[in-house]
Chains A and B, each alone.
Chain A
Amino acid sequence: MKQRISILADLRIKIGNETFDNPIWVASGTFGYGTEAPDLVDVNRLGAIVTKSITRQPREGNPPPRIVETPSGMINSIGLANIGVERYIREMLPIYENLSTKIIMNIAGTDIQEYVEIMKMVESVSSVIVGYEINISCPNVKKGGMEFGVDCDMTAKLTAKLRNITERLLIMKLSPNVSDIVSIGMSAQESGADAVSAINTVVGMSINANTGESNIHTTYGGLSGPAIKPVGLAMVHKLYQDLSIPIIGIGGIVNREDVVEFMMAGSVAVQIGTANFRNPGISEDILDTLEIFLEETHRAAATELIGAVKTHS
């Protein structure tokens, strides 16, 4: 009988000074605060959990209907419903002490001051969170509701302010709803971000032909799921060509092939979003099968995939 000698591939990845056990993370807003689905998933196997966006005050979010399925995807308009930073500090941070997976806190705000205040509050208490992901796809009230993430100057200013407050990982989460994602990514990099993550949801709309009604209360929402995977791949690849900081790939990832493709396009790690809604344990399955893929393709480390795409030019 043939003995198969196999060496387990090294799944670890590094961002800034932080080493993650594996590149499979779960995306903000698709995994709650990490405590909701314990029966269906061993959260400690995840490379990291990015928690639901937190604002200074609790937010009620938008009225229903908040979600609708669309071809190979869904549109959501949850409206950043969240428990607010005070409850996050009081109720969530202590729970994270007992998890061995890494926690990344996602922050949202309506002006620069709000982001700053939230981060200062969290920095003033001791916690095990390893970093922050900054949701800049939020309307800036001081700029007439224009999103922070569509403007290089705003992105630079926000990144620089936050960089001054924390030595933990600072990840700027980029919006695809911009004319040039690379210049926004460059602004984040030049102002001190450790990494960027891309992409957030794509603006979308859904109409019921029979009733003539919009299927989402706020008319427009964010499209996610496999429908946006090609958009995510292209944006990650563009960022990878011009940026030197790590890129965390997001957008419609549902299996290991998707992970491999996002890494080949230039991602160091990936986040699983909408797929959690079908199966909260899907990241574990993806992790197991990714390990097999690396072994089968004789790769010693997941990092060998990063940027490995063969383009035709």
Chain B
Amino acid sequence: MIIERAYIKSNREVANNIWEMHFEAPQIASEYSGSGQFINILVMNAWNHPLRRPMSIASVVKGNISIIYKIFGEVTQLLSEKKVGDEAELMGPLGNTFSNWKNGTYPILVGGGVGLAPILNLKNECDTHHVKYDIIIGARSGDEHFMDHEPEKNIILSTDDGTIGVKGTVMVPLEKMAKENENPYLFACGPEPMLEAVRNFALSNHIPAQLAVESYMGCGVGLCQGCVIHRQNGEIGRHSYHEKYSLVCLDGPIYEAKDIHFG
């Protein structure tokens, strides 16, 4: 893990309030080990926002890293105003990766809201390794989607208001697909209520699932002990000071659904 000053190579809005940015970050790219990992971004040097902002890595191609981000508050707003050629200071790569997706199970990838980056990254890795999968992307409305609904290619979109794809949450197509396929393995990233629904479905149907979780993060390297999540299974992670919790920055952000709970 290193801190690297990186050039911004592109920055554009890909859907309503959702942006994609590419950085030239060869050092972080060379240490990168797989989808699920994230970087911690320092957008400006002034101290009115002391903390970096964690963002999942959406792709790594030849020394370039991309992120997909939603404008939430001031720092993501500032990020969206950055121009090509500007710099940002990145710390990374941080965290663990999705695993077991090439072990003969049938991966069903589920992304919701801005929880798209690690899922799209995993999708590309599956493509590269010729692993067959289904992918389901959920949003509140059609304007938040930047992919096409292509059921014939196993790409399913859902919207709460039904403007694109399946009407309802990701759980509607997910429950169907999980039952249609042998040996399903779920990989999910998105807002907490969605992850909780995926977790409950997976546990009650004895389907393995990995969740990419988010929690308010201070340092990203285990120093502040801020980003804890409730630990279900005492075995995972040794980085929090107590077995009741796990540190998302070091032990996560990817967890088996059975190993954590949402409090």
Contact present for A277 and B242 (CB under 8 Å): no
Chain B proximity of A126: nearest CB distance (Å): 25
Contact present for A61 and B48 (CB under 8 Å): no
Residues of A within 8 A of B222 (CB): 32, 36-37
Residue of B nearest to A258 (CB): B47
CA A288 to CA B222, docked complex, whole Å: 25
Contact present for B245 and A61 (CB under 8 Å): yes
Contact present for B221 and A280 (CB under 8 Å): yes
Contact present for B50 and A225 (CB under 8 Å): yes
Q: Is chain B's interface secondary structure helix, strand, loop, or mixed overall?
A: loop
CA A59 to CA B218, docked complex, whole Å: 20
Residues of A within 8 A of B225 (CB): 29, 32, 61, 66, 78, 81
Residue of B nearest to A226 (CB): B47
Which of these binds chain B: A67-75, A135-143, A297-305? A67-75
Contact present for A280 and B47 (CB under 8 Å): no
Chain A proximity of B204: nearest CB distance (Å): 25
Residues of B within 8 A of A200 (CB): none
Contact bitstring A42-81, B, C-beta under 8 A = 1, else 0: 0000000000100000111101111111011110101001
Contact present for A226 and B50 (CB under 8 Å): yes
Contact present for A40 and B1 (CB under 8 Å): yes
CA A69 to CA B219, docked complex, whole Å: 11
Residues of B within 8 A of A68 (CB): 216
Chain B proximity of A176: nearest CB distance (Å): 18
Q: Is A83's beta carbon under 8 Å from chain B?
A: yes
Contact present for B223 and A277 (CB under 8 Å): yes
Residues of A within 8 A of B241 (CB): 52, 58-59, 61, 81-83
Interface residue from B48, B215, B224 paired with A277 (Cβ < 8 Å): B224
Q: Is A296's beta carbon under 8 Å from chain B?
A: no
Residue of A nearest to B47 (CB): A226
CA A31 to CA B221, docked complex, whole Å: 10
Residues of B within 8 A of A72 (CB): 47-48, 50
Chain A residues with a Cβ under 8 A of chain B? 29-32, 36-37, 39-40, 52, 58-61, 63-69, 71-74, 76, 78, 81-83, 225-226, 254, 274-281
Q: Nearest 4 pairs between A and B by C-beta?
A: A67-B226, A277-B219, A60-B242, A60-B244
- Apart from A30-B223, A58-B241, list 8 A-B contacts with CB within 8 A: A66-B227, A72-B50, A76-B226, A78-B226, A225-B50, A275-B50, A280-B219, A280-B223
